[in-house]
Amino acid sequence: MKQRPIPILAPPGEDLARRVWIEHIQPAVDDGRYPIKRTPGEDVTVSADVFADGHDVLAVMLRYRPTRTNEWLETPMRFLGNDHWRASFPITSLEPYCYSVIGWVDFFATWQEEIRKKAAAGQKVESELLEGAAMVEKAADRASSLDRSQLVDRASILADRHQPAAARLETGLAPDLQALMNRYPDREGATEHPSLAVDVEPLHARFSAWYELFPRSARSYPGRSGTFGDAEGLLPYVARMGFDILYLPPIHPIGRTHRKGQNDTVVAGPDDPGSPWAIGAEEGGHDSIHQDLGTLEDFRHFVETAHTHGLMVALDIAFQCSPDHPWVREHPEWFRHRPDGTIKYAENPPKKYQDVYPLDFECRDWQNLWQVLAEIVLFWMDQGVTVFRVDNPHTKPLRFWGWLIGQIRESRPDVIFLAEAFTRPAVMYALAKAGFNQSYTYFTWRNTGQEITQYLSELTRSEVREFFRPNFFVNTPDILPEYLQFGGRPAFIARLVLAATLSSSYGVYSGFELCEAEALPGTEEYRDSEKFQLRQRDWKRPGNLTDYISRVNRIRRENPALSHNFHLRFYPVDNEQILCYGKTTPDNSNIILVAVNLDPHHAHEGWLQFPVGEFGLGESEAYQVHDLLGAGRYLWQGPRNYLRLDPSSSPAQIFLVRRRVRTERDFDYFM
């Protein structure tokens, strides 16, 4: 056997004296590398495994504070068995918070447990009482003057051999002595977990209903672009439907070079307005307003008027340029060039997008470019905009967004960003970790019960829920889902109810409420898409869903269960075409049950298994379910209940579950 040297030991350092270990603190995103997200009014429920060697009793506290303050607030964590501890703290203001867990050996509680056990076994505890007295005396040294005298009193009783043993024991075990001792713990050797961050966002980051509108289509007669003034005329319409964020595609001058024509044709006609995402013309770029829409003043007026209707205006941030954008001339170094000196347009071979030049985020001058892009956002914030929808963020560096959003939200946590990303899950989630407050999702492509259940479980039951806030758009100018193309009005209703109740944030692109369903064949593109032409709409078209949408949005506002995603649960129905799920408030004071017929063509019926026990209802207890959409009221009993959904009349039902049912006991003369 090879001889190896006997090691020379380094002496144990002071840091080794801490006996407590803290592990698996939850919630934490990527082990604390990224903040969790909350809104004011929410609680953060923190759990951790906390333990030490041996059998000593531990004291474990949850610590938390707004990050800017320097003093921790503390609340004791509750021991749940098997080294598991839990506690909650409230988020009360719109600013970053942080939290941590601290634990130490509670020698006094350990002592109490010891004397309790020994006394129960009939053993003498004389020596132990003296040890306890010494501990109480030491705590007295740390105490305020009022408490000090109390502690000194107790110590002297514990140490007094002339008192009866039973009385001394009782003093040692008294809850009020424990409470007193807890006020002056000996925290030497305490272990503290590195602190974790909470990104606190405004309520509408969590709970919002979006409506997307092209202001240039706001005019009701053909041939001329609508203006902000025209769009103001639509504000009551949007507000009546109950939306709270009105999102506008880019409002900037549109390039003329390689402008796309109607239905995405390569050559535009003389009257074709071009895609709003081909940003920039001789008149200006990202900080200018398209002259057909109005002036900057008109825009500000529009934003203010929207506010009076309870609507926030969201702008589109699309960091790309048309060939006519002023930056192309002033900052050619911000773009990629071909060997012949020309600028590279966007491509996804074999597709070419000659009307769009991507910015080169890696160019030599990248730091100035990033700065200027950030200043564009600040410019629109200056006009009162606090919500931004970011176009294709996944084609720009993740660290750019981290920097931009971080810089802005540090002093303006009221500003939020929605990521319009449709890409692989890791990148979707990385954008959310980088700071995006909401994100588009795969919802439009999740149609069967299994698809929806699986996707929502990922979004609401895994770590994802701590940092990724989904926004379920039912359609967009780019996506007219096949389900809507072929399912008719019942399909629109089903998808609306799914989006608005599965996700606390959802969105509708205008035309949806009119059940517009005509696509370019074989695609998800709208025929005669607004992206490339002006559209007029009959907002009162028969069969429209405006009243239905108003009702759904009112139900959302009146039922706090629908403003949150953490408490979503799916319930089994013995017919897979009926999807049934519930949402509740944490205290179960508001219980919503949703049933959707996923088949827009046929009526379906089935038996639902509703876990009444989880809501404190007995197996044979009656309860009321009130269909908030159809206004019907039903008496149910126990877990098994019948559902029937006919797409021609009610493709979906949203039930409010009321646990209390009137009985003879409510009758005045009973008793």
The set of catalytic residues is 391, 420
Determine the distance from the C-alpha atom of residue 276 to the mean position of all C-alpha atoms in its chain, rounded to a whole number.
29
Shortest approach of a second copy to residue 26 CB, angstroms?
Answer: 13
Cis peptide before 236 (omega within 30 of 0): no
Range 15-34, binding a second copy (CB under 8 A): 16-19, 21, 23-24, 30-31
Q: Binding a second copy by CB under 8 A: which of 183, 424, 557, 602?
A: 424
Q: Of all helices (H) and strands (E), which one includes residue 328?
A: helix 326-330
Does residue 308 bind a second copy (CB under 8 A)? no
Does residue 397 bind a second copy (CB under 8 A)? yes
Q: Are 560 and 586 in contact (CB under 8 A)?
A: no
Per-residue x/- marks for a second copy, 78-117, CB under 8 A?
A: ----xx------------------------------x--x
Q: What is the dihedral of CA 226, 230, 233, 238, to 10 degrees?
A: 40
Q: Binding a second copy by CB under 8 A: which of 193, 242, 411, 627?
A: 411
Q: Which is nearer to a second copy, 120 or 671 (CB)?
A: 120
Shortest approach of a second copy to residue 185 CB, angstroms?
Answer: 16
Q: Which is nearer to a second copy, 1 or 166 (CB)?
A: 1
Burial class (CB in 10 A: 0-12, 13-18, 19+), 356: buried
Does residue 123 bind a second copy (CB under 8 A)? yes
DSSP state, residue 666 = G
Q: Which is nearer to a second copy, 266 or 378 (CB)?
A: 378
User: What number of other Cβ atoms are within 10 A of residue 267's Cβ?
Assistant: 9
Instruction: Report the C-alpha gap between 497 and 552 in whole angstroms.
Output: 7
> What Cα–Cα distance (Å) separates residue 197 from each residue in 100, 345, 515?
9, 41, 44
Which of the stretches 119-127, 178-186, 494-502, 631-639 binds a second copy when contact is defined by CB under 8 A? Answer: 119-127
> What Cα–Cα distance (Å) separates residue 489 from each residue in 264, 354, 379, 426, 654?
27, 38, 41, 35, 18
Shortest approach of a second copy to residue 82 CB, angstroms?
Answer: 6
Instruction: Report the C-alpha gap between 437 and 94 in whole angstroms.
Output: 14
Range 39-78, binding a second copy (CB under 8 A): 49, 51-55
Shortest approach of a second copy to residue 100 CB, angstroms?
Answer: 16
Instruction: Report the C-alpha gap between 76 and 85 in whole angstroms.
Output: 9
Shortest approach of a second copy to residue 33 CB, angstroms?
Answer: 8
> What Cα–Cα distance (Å) separates residue 426 from each residue in 116, 122, 398, 432?
54, 62, 12, 10
Does residue 363 bind a second copy (CB under 8 A)? no
Q: Binding a second copy by CB under 8 A: which of 41, 189, 611, 632?
A: 189
Beta bridge partners of 284: 281
Residue type, 620: S
Does residue 610 bind a second copy (CB under 8 A)? no
Q: Binding a second copy by CB under 8 A: which of 168, 206, 260, 396?
A: 396
Q: Which is nearer to a second copy, 145 or 348 (CB)?
A: 348
Q: Which phi and psi (to 5°) does residue 37 adopt? A: -120, 140
Q: Which is nearer to a second copy, 413 or 490 (CB)?
A: 413
Shortest approach of a second copy to residue 52 CB, angstroms?
Answer: 8
Range 132-151, binding a second copy (CB under 8 A): 134
Q: Which is nearer to a second copy, 367 or 663 (CB)?
A: 367
Q: Which is nearer to a second copy, 411 or 620 (CB)?
A: 411
Three-state secondary structure call for residue 667: coil
Does residue 7 bind a second copy (CB under 8 A)? yes
Does residue 124 bind a second copy (CB under 8 A)? no
Does residue 158 bind a second copy (CB under 8 A)? no
Backbone dihedral region for residue 235 (phi beyond 0: left; psi -120 to 50: alpha; all else: beta): alpha
Q: Which phi and psi (to 5°) does residue 385 adopt? A: -85, 130
Picking from 317, 335, 340, 316, the residue whose alpha carbon sits closest to that of residue 325 is 335
Residue type, 286: H
Range 236-275, binding a second copy (CB under 8 A): none
Picking from 23, 86, 87, 15, the residue whose alpha carbon sits closest to that of residue 52 is 23
Beta bridge partners of 48: 85
Q: Which is nearer to a second copy, 370 or 526 (CB)?
A: 370
Q: Which is nearer to a second copy, 193 or 469 (CB)?
A: 193
Which of the stretches 144-152, 214-222, 378-386, 551-559 binds a second copy when contact is defined by CB under 8 A? Answer: 378-386
Does residue 310 bind a second copy (CB under 8 A)? no
Does residue 430 bind a second copy (CB under 8 A)? yes
Q: Which phi and psi (to 5°) does residue 129 adopt? A: -60, -35
Q: Which is nearer to a second copy, 73 or 363 (CB)?
A: 363
Q: Of all helices (H) and strands (E), which one includes residue 388?
A: strand 387-391
Q: Which is nearer to a second copy, 120 or 146 (CB)?
A: 120
Does residue 663 bind a second copy (CB under 8 A)? no
Number of residues that bind a second copy (CB under 8 A): 76
Shortest approach of a second copy to residue 19 CB, angstroms?
Answer: 5
Shortest approach of a second copy to residue 220 CB, angstroms?
Answer: 31
Task: Determine the length of the chain.
Answer: 671
Instruction: Report the C-alpha gap between 306 and 260 in whole angstroms.
Output: 31
Range 329-348, binding a second copy (CB under 8 A): 338-340, 347-348
Shortest approach of a second copy to residue 76 CB, angstroms?
Answer: 20
Q: Which is nearer to a second copy, 2 or 660 (CB)?
A: 2
Instruction: Report the C-alpha gap between 218 and 231 in whole angstroms.
Output: 5
Q: Are 103 and 22 in contact (CB under 8 A)?
A: yes
Shortest approach of a second copy to residue 379 CB, angstroms?
Answer: 9
Q: Which is nearer to a second copy, 127 or 145 (CB)?
A: 127
Q: Which tokens sit at 381?
A: 């914030």
Shortest approach of a second copy to residue 313 CB, angstroms?
Answer: 12
Beta bridge partners of 472: 506
Q: Are 121 and 163 in contact (CB under 8 A)?
A: no
Q: Which tokens sit at 105?
A: 């050996």
DSSP secondary structure string for all residues of 111-152:
HHHHHHHHHHTT---HHHHHHHHHHHHHHHHHS-HHHHHHHH
Range 494-553, binding a second copy (CB under 8 A): none
Three-state secondary structure call for residue 3: coil
Does residue 6 bind a second copy (CB under 8 A)? yes
Does residue 371 bind a second copy (CB under 8 A)? yes
Q: Binding a second copy by CB under 8 A: which of 350, 521, 522, 616?
A: 350
Residue 367's contacts (CB-CB under 8 Å, 6 or more residues apart) are none
Which of the stretches 125-133, 173-181, 583-591, 617-625 binds a second copy when contact is defined by CB under 8 A? Answer: 125-133
Shortest approach of a second copy to residue 411 CB, angstroms?
Answer: 4
Does residue 353 bind a second copy (CB under 8 A)? no
Which of the stretches 205-213, 271-279, 425-433, 625-633 binds a second copy when contact is defined by CB under 8 A? Answer: 425-433
Residue type, 456: L
Does residue 374 bind a second copy (CB under 8 A)? yes
